[in-house]
Structure 1
Amino acid sequence: MSALVVRAVGGPVLVQDRGRPGHAAIGVGTAGAADRASHDLANRLLGNDPGAATLEVVLGGLEVEAEGMLWVCVTGAPAQLAVGGRAEPTGAVLALRPGERLTLGTPPSGLRSYLAVRGGLDTPRLLGSRAHDTLAGLGPAPVRPGERIAVGRELAGEILVDAVASRRHEGPVTVGLHRGPRDDWAVDADALVARPWRVAADSDRVGLRLEGEPLGVVPDRGELPSEGALRGAVQLPPDGRPVVFGPDHPVTGGYPVVAVVADADTDRLSQLRPGEELRFRWA
């Protein structure tokens, strides 16, 4: 059976697919690829089933070796690619011959790249998904050097396109907001869209923590009971610094949700690096 053999990793490398929706009642979130559009694009280019698993690679540093003849593609953050020392473009369908190695360098912009293999990655499923959930600790463990990852047969069709243009991840990002169910817990919810924010260093797949002039919190409101939460929810902790929930967010939360990022824009948040600027606008 064909496989990818991992020779080196840099930042975190996680197996991801479309996640495991429908289990919030038992305390399990959806998780799945942080940049769903890039994950899905890699699978479409290779003719994979939409649910096929890929590798989510943070800031490059991954080196893999082909065991058998493989077709691969890298999307998302435009990592510098090399096959057998030969430079290759992000977004291209590439052939890896047995024993050939693919390396992903550090992308000049963006945060997460997605490495897909024709047929998908054949790791064990848990609750119907191969996704790694960093908060719950579910799914395959983070990828390590020396690991052999089998290639599956999750195909939807033939390879019809050999390359697409890479998406740009440069410049300040502006995303749309809907007002949240608890926007009256902020002294001035409109300050969310009036002020610039920066991504804090302790941001991760659970949530994007934002730095900037804190929002005022209405005093003497007491405490909220735990309420259901979703990806893109903007929580307002007592310190007034917003947290935007990511794919591995908890299924409930006690801080007020003062806004919700438009779902179509949440993928863009997954490519922001610490220190980068983020702005909001009312959708």
Structure 2
Amino acid sequence: MITVEATGPLALLEDLGRPQCAHLGVSPSGAADRSALRLANRLVGNAEGAAAIETTFGGLVVVADELVWVAVTGAPTQVTVAGTPTASHTALPLHPGERLAIEAPPEGVRNYLAVRGGIEVPAILGSRSSDVLSGLGPEPLRSAARLPIGQPRGRLPDVDQAPTVQPVKDLALWPGPRSDWFTASARDRLLTDSWMVTPDCDRVAVRLEGSPLDQRHSDELPSEGLLRGAIQVPSSGQPLIFLSDHPVTGGYPVIGILSDRACDDAAQLRPGDSIRFRPATRPGSDR
């Protein structure tokens, strides 16, 4: 067991989500930054999709009830164990009674705390992920929550420390299914202009501000399926990037879709960040 002493602004349990449930009207959900979740789990010898804690803007404090191995990944940040500063992106022993604290990252938004064995709360529709849009899955963590830990399998990897990655603000995208609904100028400006991240962002979407993107059509678009990373443009002309807890359908045209890695990068954007888009090249090759 580990016990949560403080949660910071938001702390959730997340794994790799429910990717097979869209036909039920259920969003995939899962970790907002999947690369960071996978890395945290690998560092402590878990399966990549084991449930871990996703914390937003730091403030998480946990206490070990027994000896556990943990790893913190995501945005570069300061981690302390028993009051002593230590490194993130490495496996750390946490002895009984010791406190681990994650400070707010100076850049980026989210960190992941994986515990060797994984966090073993009951799964709902095959996942232990919290979905903030639908309310499906475990509730946001609260102070004094006690989290059961699963049985470790295999051995700890022979890795001293994984490299930290600074937040990326140059996002690779593919043309969207409705890019032809926009003027040529709008399609060009999507790639050439800078876009500001607004305060109106969460696990559902990152909303951007810039010169409005003009549409060629005034027709109403029937609702269509949405994906994580879809860049939808409502009637205001201001694009938004859908993240893990996106709705399964939407009625505005999608001008582009981020690469998988760029979706993870988008999950680390914070209000006030200035970003740019660039064309993706080939699957699996783009940040």
Q: Normalised by the shorter chain, which TM-score bucket?
A: over 0.9
1:276 aligns with 2:287: no
Shift of 1:219: 4.6
Partners of 1:7 and 1:41 lie apart in 2 by 25
1:176 aligns with 2:172: yes
- Residue 35 of structure 1 contacts residue 271 of structure 1 at CA under 8 Å; is this kept in 2? yes
Q: How does 1:234-253 map to 2 (within 5 A)?
A: 234-253=231-250
Moved over 6 A (4+): none
Map 1:253-264 onto structure 2 (within 5 A): 253-264=250-261
Asked if structure 2 preserves the Cα contact closer than 8 Å seen for 1:177 and 1:259, the reply is: yes
Query: Which range moved further: 150-159 or 71-80?
Result: 150-159
- The partner residue of 1:76 within 74, 80, 83 is 74
Q: 2:285 — aligned with what?
A: none
Question: What residue is the counterpart of 1:95 in the other structure?
Answer: 93
Letter in 1 for 2:81: V
1:161 is matched with 159
Q: Secondary structure at the match of 1:200?
A: strand
Answer yes or no: is the 8 Å Cα contact 1:200–1:210 preserved in 2: yes
1:186 matches 2:182: yes
Aligned match of 1:204? 202
RMSD between aligned alpha carbons? 1.2
Displacement of 1:166: 1.3
Partner letter of residue 36 of structure 1?
Answer: R
8 Å contact from structure 2 (residues 224, 249) kept in 1: yes
Aligned to 2:61: 63
Are the counterparts in 2 of residues 70 and 96 from structure 1 also a CA contact under 8 Å?
yes
| Structure 1, gaps ≥5 residues long | none
Give the residue type in structure 2 aligned to 1:120: G
SS in 2 for 1:189: helix
**Residue 232 of structure 2 is aligned to residue 218 of structure 1:** no
Unaligned 5+ residue runs, structure 2? 281-287
Alpha-carbon deviation of 1:106? 1.3
Percent identical among aligned pairs is 48
Q: CA deviation at 1:264?
A: 2.4
TM-score of the superposed pair, with normalisation by structure 2: 0.94
Amino acid at match of 2:169: V
* 1:150 Cα deviation after fit: 0.7
Distance 1:280 1:216 in 2: 17
Aligned to 1:227: 224
**Is the 8 Å Cα contact of residues 9 and 62 (structure 1) preserved in structure 2?**
yes
Query: What is the distance in 2 between the residues matched to 1:60 and 1:53?
Result: 18
149-158 or 105-114, which moves further after superposition? Answer: 149-158
**Counterpart of 1:239 in 2: which secondary structure?**
coil
- Taking the aligned partners of 1:132 and 1:65, their CA distance within structure 2 comes to 22
Give the AA of the match of 1:178: W
